[in-house]
Each structure stands twice: as C-alpha cells, then as structure tokens.
Amino acid sequence: MTTSADMAPIPYGGGAPSWYRLRRSRRARAAGGLILIILLLALAAPLTAGHDPLSGSADALLPPLTGGHALGTDHLGRDIWAQLVYGARVSLAVGILAALSATVIGTTVGAVAGYAGGWVDALLMRIAEGFQTLPRLVLALIVVALFGAGLGRLIFVIAILSWPQTARVVRASFLSLREAPFVDAARVAGMGAGAIVAGEILPNVLAPIVVTGSLDVATAILLEAALGFFGLGDPNRVSWGGMLNQAQPYLRQAWWMSLFPGLAISLVVLGFNVLGDSLNDALNPRLGEGE
C-alpha cells in the first residue's frame, strides 16, 4: 500500500492496455462511483442538505428518523445530515487540493533529483527523508495552533508534509528511465534537459504519480479529520473531524453524533484507497492479481 518499501518503480507504465484493464476493474469502478456520488452531494450541498448545517434549534439530541431529521440532531439541535453534506466539501477540498499540491512539489523534486543525480539527488533525498521522519500530525497540530486554522493554511500544511512519498516514487522512475534508449535519442537530437524531463520522461512516470496521488488524498483526508478532532478545523465551517470532536462528550446520549461522521470519513478514505490500489493493479500488471 502506501509504505515506501513496496512502491517499486514502474519502468514503462502507461499505454492503452492498462487503461483498458482499469475500466474493466470492478473495484476501480465501484470506488470511482462512490467518490463521484459524495462529490456531487457536496457540490450540490444547498440542495441536498435540507437544513442549515450551522443554525441550531430547540430539537437537541434527536435520534435518527425523528422530527424530520433523517440522521438526527446534535447537542445544539443542528441537523446531522446537513452537517455531513457541508462537511464533505471541507474534507474533499482539503484532501484533493492538499494531495494535488503535494503531487506537484513531489514530482518536481523527484524529477530534478532523479534526472540530475549526484549530490543534487543525495541532498534532495536527505531532505525528503527528513520530512518523512517528521511526526506529521504533531507538527501540523502545532502549526495550526500557532497560526490559526484557515482552509488554505490546512491545505498548505498537509501538502508541505506529504510530498516526499511522491518524490521518492518519481525519482526511482526517473533513475531507471534516465539512461533509456529513447532518452539518449532525445539527447542526441539536441533536446535540452528541461524538455527531456517534462516532455520525454514525465509522461512515462504519470502512472505511479496518479497512484500515489490517489492514496495521498486518502491520507490527507485522514489528517484533516484528525486536526478537526483536536478542535483545530476551520472554526467557520463544519468538518467531519470537528463533528467527532463534538460527539465525544455525548457518546452516552447520542451515538448517532459519532457513527455517521466517522462512517463518512471511512467511506471517502476507503474510496480513494481502493481507487489507488486498483489503479496500481491496472497500471502495474507485474503485481496485478486481478479481482
């Protein structure tokens, strides 16, 4: 899965057969469908929520299926379903944007390290190792506690702490492709280093980048939820982690305050993990074991 040990570089990925394999994969389609549904619910939140997620009412701690609240209400009488739908926006925005930024940073660092080699490679990889060793949750907690928890800041912190995995994967692929015949050919034809890196090698490395990126979304959503659980989410928005934080003192009275947000986090994270996994199987047939 996401540990560095088994993320083998993929010598020549991409190409039509792998996309064909991907479309045929039932797991990939199920995961993609799940993510799409949640994404649509989140985007159309004003239509799908049914209640204002932030306005409380006298109907506090109503169990599910009572008083017109399908999933019940929390300790301030706010509708759980509405909070879930609006919380999905935060989770998905933070997860996807953080993973995207981490992918861009990681790809750049990995490409430079892998193509340049030598001391540049050694230095960049030491830095990546250092970032990988940092306790991410603790550091993120401190940054958010010190600087405040805007949505942009959350994305920045998570991205800054998440790029090394991508960098390592990209570097490994670049190392193996650097001496490939088609790269030599490009060099002989007089192409510059930048053009070779971006135009010749990078397209062949896209497959592992996409896999790592998909798994990164899952980790980023979990990290965002953990920050929210510590009460450090964006205070002006509903977040799933924040809902679980508020559920903690009410476990005895209102199980639904804990069950539904946790289920939502798990489903989205599961979706991205399965998607990444099945992408990996489809794009990396050597390890693929079918359904």
Partner 1 sequence: MGIGRLAVFALRRLLLAGPFLLGVVMINFTLIQLAPGDPVTILVGEYPAPPEYVERVRREFGLDRPLSERLGRYLWQLLQGNLGYSFANRQPVLSLITARLGATLQLTLTALVGASIAGVALGLLAARRRGGPADGLAQGATLFGYSIPEFWLGQLLILVFAIWLGWLPSQGNRSLRAPTVGWEAATDGLRYLLLPALALSLRYVSLIARLTRASLLEVLGADFILAARARGASERTVLIGHALRHAALPVLTVIGYNFGFVLSGSALIETVFSWPGIGRLLFDSITARDYPVMTAILLLVSATVVLVNLITDLLYTAVDPRVHYR
Q: Shortest distance, CB of residue 85 to partner 1, whole angstroms? A: 18
Inter-helix orientation angle 256-283/202-229, to 10°: 170
Report the residue number, 208 or 241, with the smaller CB distance to partner 1.
241
Using alpha carbons, list the distances in angstroms from residue 71 to 75, 241, 261. 13, 17, 10
DSSP string, 197-219: IIIIIHHHHHHHHHHHHHHHHHH
Which residues neighbour 127 within 8 Å (Cβ) at sequence distance 6 or greater? none
Give the separation between CA 269 and CA 281, rounded to whole angstroms: 18
Residue 147 has which token pair? 């600087």
> Which two tokens mark 252?
């005895």
The nearest distance, CB 222 to partner 1, in angstroms, is 6
Nearer Cβ to partner 1 (51/168)? 168
Task: Tell me if 210 sits within 8 A of 225, measured CB to CB.
Answer: no
The residues that touch partner 1, with contacts defined as CB under 8 A, are 1, 3-6, 130, 133-139, 141-143, 145-148, 218, 222, 225-226, 229-232, 241, 244, 247-248, 251-252, 255, 258-259, 261-262, 265-266, 269-270, 273-274, 277, 289
Nearer to partner 1 by Cβ, of 36 and 185: the residue is 36
Instruction: Count the neighbouring beta carbons within 10 Å of the beta carbon of residue 283.
Output: 23
Taking the complex as a whole, the smallest distance from the CB of residue 52 to partner 1 amounts, in Å, to 25
CB 39, min distance to partner 1, A: 17
Closest approach of Cβ 11 to partner 1, in Å? 18
| Phi and psi, residue 248, nearest 5° | -50, -55
Select 12 or 147, whichever has its Cβ closest to partner 1: 147
Residue 28 burial by Cβ neighbours in a 10 Å radius (0-12, 13-18, 19+): buried
**Do residues 59 and 44 make contact, with C-beta atoms less than 8 angstroms apart?**
no
Q: How far is the CB of 13 from partner 1 (least distance, A)?
A: 19
Q: Residue 69: beta bridge partners?
A: 66
Q: Collapsing DSSP states into helix, strand and coil, what is residue 11?
A: coil
Q: Which is nearer to partner 1, 36 or 123 (CB)?
A: 123
Q: Which is nearer to partner 1, 55 or 248 (CB)?
A: 248
Residue 133 vs 236, nearer CB to partner 1:
133
Q: Report the nearest approach of partner 1 to the CB of residue 19 (Å).
A: 23
